[in-house]
Amino acid sequence: MSPTVPVGLANYRELLSDERFHHSLYNTLVFTLFAVPVTMLTALVLAFLLNMKLRGQAFYRTLFFLPSIVPLVASSVLWLWLLNPDYGLLNTMLRPVLEAINAVAGTGFRPPGWLVDANYTKAALILMSTWGVGGSMILYLAALGDVPVTLYEAAELDGAGAWRKAWHVTLPMISPVLLFTLVMGLIGTFQYFSQAWIMTPNGQPGDATLFYALYLFYNAFLYLRMGYASAQAWILFLVIVAATILVFRTTRRFVYYGGEGT
């Protein structure tokens, strides 16, 4: 590395005109807006299902938790095979279904090119993210176990059905855990890197998976522009802080802490 030379705000001015910087920020924001709600909802639904008193409950809890502890590189390589457009398991299962639809409706649907078509790459990575929601699922299960039974009994006496109990009792009582997973999910997706680095080198196809952290890594360690990458890192820090403050401000009245009001 060459000696440090102060350049003032030059790196930030250059970032404002850097198209790849804008594209990486756009990719990250789009991915965050879809990945965080989808993964939270998937984990919550699994937690509700696994909270029921069913035979083999411990087995199913373990089964759904295991993907979250699989090493990231191993899971990425596994999903490279699953999402292969030619011989991947997902398209192998979709192909006969789409062929039947085409035969009946006269359409021309084809299995998606998950990681080779820019229209599907983000969807493929979001799908992969839902596979690893076991950690959030366990947090939701623990929170569901702490909801007082007396609240459900009181709701039943008032004539509340399953949906009303879930909306007016369960969700408010586990809202602190929902807030925690939302904030951690935002922080994690803003720094999304490893899966994109392994599965879609160089942000291909067409920079569709050039996420912010990936572009920062390229500038720092591939192009050796450490000052430029440091400016990116500061911007990422400020974006994460702003997003976290916004979440806390907008969800304050919806989060219930026992004995402390809303």
d(CA 16, CA 12): 7
- How far is the CA of 52 from the CAs of 69, 79, 107, 136, 159, in angstroms? 24, 30, 42, 17, 21
Q: Which pLDDT belongs to residue 203?
A: 81
Tens-binned pLDDT, residue by residue, of the chain (262 aa): 677 888 999 999 999 999 999 999 999 999 999 999 999 999 999 999 999 877 888 899 999 999 999 999 999 999 999 999 888 999 999 999 999 998 888 888 889 999 999 999 999 999 999 999 999 999 999 999 999 999 999 999 988 888 999 999 999 999 999 999 999 999 999 999 999 999 988 888 889 999 999 999 999 999 999 999 999 999 999 999 999 999 999 998 889 887 554 4
Task: Give this prediction's pTM.
Answer: 0.91
Contact present, 110 and 123 (Cβ < 8 Å): no
Q: Which pLDDT belongs to residue 262?
A: 41
Q: Which pLDDT belongs to residue 183?
A: 96
Structure tokens that stand for 205 in this block: 């196809």
Sorted by sequence, the CB contacts under 8 Å of residue 33 that are 6+ apart come out as none
Q: What SS3 class is residue 89?
A: helix
Contact present, 215 and 197 (Cβ < 8 Å): no
d(CA 106, CA 99): 10
Burial environment of residue 56 by CB neighbours within 10 A (0 to 12, 13 to 18, 19 or more): exposed
Contact present, 79 and 196 (Cβ < 8 Å): no
Identify which of 231, 208, 243, 240 has the alpha carbon closest to the alpha carbon of residue 30.
208
Locate the domains of the chain by residue range: 10-70+135-254
Q: What SS3 class is residue 65?
A: helix
Q: Which pLDDT belongs to residue 54?
A: 78
Q: Which pLDDT belongs to residue 257?
A: 84
Q: What SS3 class is residue 49?
A: helix
The dihedral sign for the CA sequence 162, 35, 194, 230: negative
Q: Which pLDDT belongs to residue 188?
A: 95
d(CA 243, CA 250): 11
In this structure, the dihedral spanned by the alpha carbons of residues 14, 17, 23 and 26, taken in order and rounded to 10 degrees, is 90
| Lookup result for tokens 């599965």 | 199
DSSP 200: S
In CATH, which superfamily holds the domain spanning 10-70+135-254? MetI-like (1.10.3720.10)
